[in-house]
Amino acid sequence: MLRAGDLVAFPTETVYGLGADAGNAAAVARVFAAKGRPADHPLIVHLPDAGHLDRWAIDIPQAARKLAAAFWPGPLTLILKRHPSVIDAITGGQETVGLRVPRHPLALQLLREFDGGVAAPSANRFGHVSPTTAAHVRDELGAAVGMVLDGGPCQVGIESTILDLSSGAPRILRPGMLDAVALAEVLGTAPTSGAEGAAPRVSGSLESHYAPTTPMRLVAESAMAQALAAALGHDQRVAVFASLRPETGDSKLIWRQASRDPAAYAHDLYARLREFDTLGCDLILVAAPPVDEAWRAVNDRLQRAAAEAK
């Protein structure tokens, strides 16, 4: 199906991807159409192994090969200078390309059989909560996907770390569960952060992204009781994602326990937001997690999910 230009959704360790032959412009156009994705928003190309790097990138720094050896397969996307053969639709017209090797046995088997690059953004409508199960993909995209390969729930649960190596010092453009500390151990220096200045455009960098359909607010844990009381006072049906159960027996409250472990929290996050969207709630309240490096990727997703689309 991939070779015929069809779309195939498949699991990775992060989220489910909507896959198309990255060398087929018509197939890539189907990805953008299915997702409602802006044409200038680049796609990440998934590879079967690091041996395919030179087919997609040029002037590859030694740091990229070291990171690939250390973390691929795994939740790390590298931004490198594109090979001349890479089509503009993949890069959003930029001179860089995002590449990674996913750590999921089903994804790797698919990529090895295909023996090429598969463009695979998250298998959902653009800006919405990413899917972490095959059912999420079917529910949201339906007939737009030729086939959905079911590999069970995703292990990590949020998208890969994106590291720019295309110009000078390594820079994290999107945080993921592979954090700056782990990257620094291989690089020998701490990567910088942020997409200011001349940084390439990358997936998941818009202010509003990963958002549920239901309005969502991120509140300090100490302010949760007050925020909840105000919402219930307006006769709203409220979903709460917090580590502690609110001290109210109001029937309009739906509570799901949030883990205090960042990896477990990330694993559960999108599934919980998607569940809340099915329950007819008027508002989602999420207790803000700690602010430190271990929680950086989770906080990034929560802040974008709670931001108002512009």
User: In this predicted model, what pLDDT tens digit does every residue of 160-180 receive, in sequence order?
Assistant: 999 999 988 999 999 999 999
Task: Look at residue 199 and tell me if it is in a domain.
Answer: no
Is 152 found in the same domain as 79? yes
Is 42 found in the same domain as 148? yes
Name the residue range of residue 133's domain: 8-193
pLDDT of residue 202: 82
- Three-class DSSP category at 58: strand
Mean pLDDT on 225-229: 95
Q: Tens digit of pLDDT for each residue in 258-293?
A: 999 999 999 999 999 999 999 999 999 999 999 999
Is 158 found in the same domain as 16? yes
- Tell me 33's DSSP state: H
Residue 157: closest CA among 298, 287, 289, 302: 298
Task: Look at residue 68 and tell me if it is in a domain.
Answer: yes
Mean pLDDT on 56-81: 98
Give the confidence band of 247 by pLDDT, cuts at 50, 70, 90: confident
Is 228 found in the same domain as 182? no
Sign of CA dihedral 236, 241, 242, 247: positive
Task: Look at residue 293 and tell me if it is in a domain.
Answer: yes
pLDDT of residue 195: 62
Residue 140: closest CA among 284, 301, 9: 9
Q: What's the CA gap between 121 and 37, in Å, rounded?
A: 10
Task: Look at residue 2 and tell me if it is in a domain.
Answer: no
Asked if pLDDT for residue 186 goes beyond 80, the answer is yes
**Overall pTM surpassing 0.85 (yes/no):** yes
Is 89 found in the same domain as 149? yes
Is 224 found in the same domain as 297? yes
* Residue 160: partners with Cβ closer than 8 Å, 6 or more residues away: 14, 44, 75, 76, 77, 100, 174, 176, 178
Is 181 found in the same domain as 70? yes
CATH number at residue 75: 3.90.870.10
State which of 138, 161, 193 marks the end of a domain.
Answer: 193
Is 220 found in the same domain as 122? no
Q: Is the peptide bond before 73 cis (omega within 30 degrees of 0)?
A: yes
Q: Tens digit of pLDDT for each residue in 1-15?
A: 999 999 999 999 999
Q: What's the CA gap between 124 and 14, in Å, rounded?
A: 14
Q: What's the CA gap between 268 and 153, in Å, rounded?
A: 10
Asked if pLDDT for residue 82 goes beyond 80, the answer is yes
Task: Look at residue 209 and tell me if it is in a domain.
Answer: no
CATH number at residue 265: 3.40.50.11030
- Three-class DSSP category at 283: strand
Task: Look at residue 61 and tell me if it is in a domain.
Answer: yes
Is 222 found in the same domain as 189? no
Q: What's the token pair of residue 38?
A: 């802006």
Q: Structurally, how many domains does the chain consist of?
A: 2
Is 221 found in the same domain as 185? no
- Three-class DSSP category at 184: helix
How far is residue 93 from each of residues 40, 41, 89, 172, measured CA to CA in Å? 7, 9, 7, 21
Mean pLDDT on 223-237: 94
